[in-house]
């Protein structure tokens, strides 16, 4: 996109969300609808990331959180889980240098210790390589569940209180948020879920407290840049009151 076109698009979409979360749903159904094996849907969905990440970065969105693999996804057939990780590794290893060159900072949110070692080490290397970058914050949820995240944060609070490092009377929202897996992200402003389902599926429940929600019928591999721009335009037209009245 040319600089003039990008500037005009930014103006049209203002105010942009600081933080966009996406539940990338519908890969398997996309494949089934085409008579393809489910792994082909996951690969098509992964290929969709390149353009969307670039557009988010070009627009100046501060953070993009992607729900890649949930704690519940372990219930899927073993061969599908292994294929998911293999596809993720192929994409990640191929793209990390380009993301780094574009100033993207990569973080991973979830229980990384529970991942296959190759996936965990790739995540750690990518985070270390890009940690000084000041561009788009690409936050990937892997082996993630919001209830597990909040349980872990509560245990850390209890541990600090029991050791005397924390006064229980001082525990507040900031104390809890400071112990999340990725504690320095702004709250999610816009959540997009593709695939036609209308639920949060245990994704960033605390961080979504005042998020605007967009449920899109398109399966994730079909979620085009144009549909993303439509969702951002819809967000720009909403009145966000955060519990107050219009105009406050």
The catalytic residue positions are 25, 73
DSSP the chain: --HHHHHHHHHHHPSPPSEEEEE---HHHHHHHTT--HHHHHHHHHHTHHHHHHHHHHHT-SEEEEEEEEGGGGGS-HHHHHHHHHHHHHHHHHHHHHHHHTT-EEEEES-GGGS-HHHHHHHHHHHHHHTT--S-EEEEEEEE-HHHHHHHHHHHHHHHHHTTSS-GGG--HHHHHTTSSSTTSPPPSEEEE-SS----TTSSTTTTTT-EEEE--S-GGG--HHHHHHHHHHHHTS---TTS-TT-
């Amino acid at each position: 996109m040319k600089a003039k076109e990008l500037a005009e698009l930014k103006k049209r979409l203002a105010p942009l969300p600081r933080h966009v979360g996406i539940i990338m749903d519908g890969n398997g159904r996309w494949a089934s609808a085409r008579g393809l094996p489910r792994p082909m849907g996951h690969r098509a969905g992964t290929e969709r990331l390149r353009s969307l990440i670039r557009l988010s970065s070009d627009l100046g969105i501060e953070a993009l959180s992607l729900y890649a693999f949930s704690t519940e996804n372990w219930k899927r057939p073993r061969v599908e889980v292994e294929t998911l990780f293999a596809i993720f590794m192929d994409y990640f290893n191929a793209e990390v240098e380009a993301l780094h060159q574009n100033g993207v900072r990569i973080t991973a949110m979830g229980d990384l210790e529970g991942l296959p070692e190759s996936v965990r080490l790739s995540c750690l290397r990518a985070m270390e390589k890009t940690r000084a970058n000041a561009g788009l914050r690409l936050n990937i949820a892997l082996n993630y569940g919001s209830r597990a995240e909040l349980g872990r944060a509560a245990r850390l609070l209890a541990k600090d209180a029991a050791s005397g490092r924390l006064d229980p009377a001082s525990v507040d929202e900031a104390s809890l948020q400071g112990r999340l897996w990725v504690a320095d992200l702004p709250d999610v402003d816009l959540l997009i879920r593709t695939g036609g389902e209308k639920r949060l599926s245990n994704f960033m429940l605390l961080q979504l407290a005042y998020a605007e929600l967009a449920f899109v019928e398109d399966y994730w591999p079909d979620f085009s840049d144009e549909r993303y721009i439509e969702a951002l335009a819809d967000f720009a037209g909403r009145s966000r009151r955060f519990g107050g009245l219009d105009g406050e």
